[in-house]
């Protein structure tokens, strides 16, 4: 049964990732129409879209950018972070239920230090994941579900780690679509700094765990 759960988890992730590439992603204008049609329920609708979209590999930058355009930087970032965190927890719980029991023995033997980092420093380990822009957000959510990190630590680390990238996307909008603009240079520089911080922090966590 453990192997069956793991197989189902892998198939689910692969299918969702493929479908995300095949389905047309609505642009900012379409998202604005959906929000406008929702009226007073717009914030709840957008939060739900963020949560479900995050769980099924919908491009997070598109939603983060739309949040700033639709609701302003402050309110939009808060909605996006709440929605992304909820979606991350959906993926986390699915992975925990289907794959944790099958993967745990292997992680304990092959990646003992990594398991210890997530078990002892779950919030910080999750924050490191969020500071690495090159690591696909949704894939990291499913991956974290099979580690020993506690759900509440994962949720807190995710919410905190989402703040810089989400606010950045909300403020700069589609800056990265024009790589020659000053805004894109600023965005890339900040993302590079976040990645460097994540790598440095991650190495420290691993080093400290090994010494403990």
For the segment 78-119, what is each residue's pLDDT rounded down to a tens digit? 999 999 999 999 999 999 988 787 777 766 666 778 888 888
- Cα of first residue to Cα of last residue in the chain, in angstroms, is 35
**Nearest-angstrom CA–CA distance, 191 and 198:** 10
Q: Give the C-alpha distances (Å, rounded to integers) separating 110 from 68, 101, 106, 147, 173.
A: 42, 15, 6, 13, 41
4-11: list long-range contacts, CB under 8 Å, 24+ apart. 5/97, 5/98, 5/99, 5/101, 5/102, 6/98, 6/99, 6/102, 6/103, 8/98, 9/94, 9/95, 9/98, 9/99, 9/142, 9/146, 10/99
Share of the chain above pLDDT 70, in %: 83
- What value does the mean pLDDT take over residues 145-166? 92
Query: 111 vs 120, which has greater pLDDT?
Result: 120
The pLDDT tens digits for 169-198 are 777 765 555 556 676 677 778 878 888 888
Query: 79 vs 132, which has greater pLDDT?
Result: 79
Res 110: pLDDT: 61
Res 13: pLDDT: 81
On average, the pLDDT of the chain sits at 82
Domain residues for the domain of 48 are 2-211
Q: How many domains does the chain have?
A: 1
């Amino acid at each position: 049964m453990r192997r069956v759960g793991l197989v189902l988890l892998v198939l689910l992730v692969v299918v969702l990732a493929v479908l995300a590439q095949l389905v047309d992603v609505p642009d900012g204008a379409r998202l604005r129409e959906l929000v406008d049609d929702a009226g007073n329920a717009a914030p709840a609708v957008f939060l739900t879209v963020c949560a479900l979209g995050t769980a099924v590999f919908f491009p997070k930058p598109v939603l983060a950018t739309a949040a700033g355009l639709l609701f302003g930087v402050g309110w939009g970032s808060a909605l996006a972070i709440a929605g992304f965190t909820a979606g991350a927890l959906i993926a986390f719980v699915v992975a925990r239920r289907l794959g944790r029991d099958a993967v745990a023995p292997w992680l304990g033997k092959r990646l003992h230090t990594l398991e210890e980092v997530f078990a002892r420093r779950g919030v910080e380990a999750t924050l490191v994941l969020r500071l690495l822009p090159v690591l696909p957000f949704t894939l990291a959510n499913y991956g974290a579900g099979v580690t020993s990190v506690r759900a509440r630590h994962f949720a807190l680390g995710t919410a905190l780690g989402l703040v810089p990238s989400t606010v950045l996307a909300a403020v700069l909008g589609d800056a990265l679509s024009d790589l020659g603009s000053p805004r894109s240079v600023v965005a890339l520089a900040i993302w590079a700094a976040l990645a460097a911080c994540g790598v440095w922090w991650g190495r420290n966590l691993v080093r400290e765990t090994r010494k403990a």
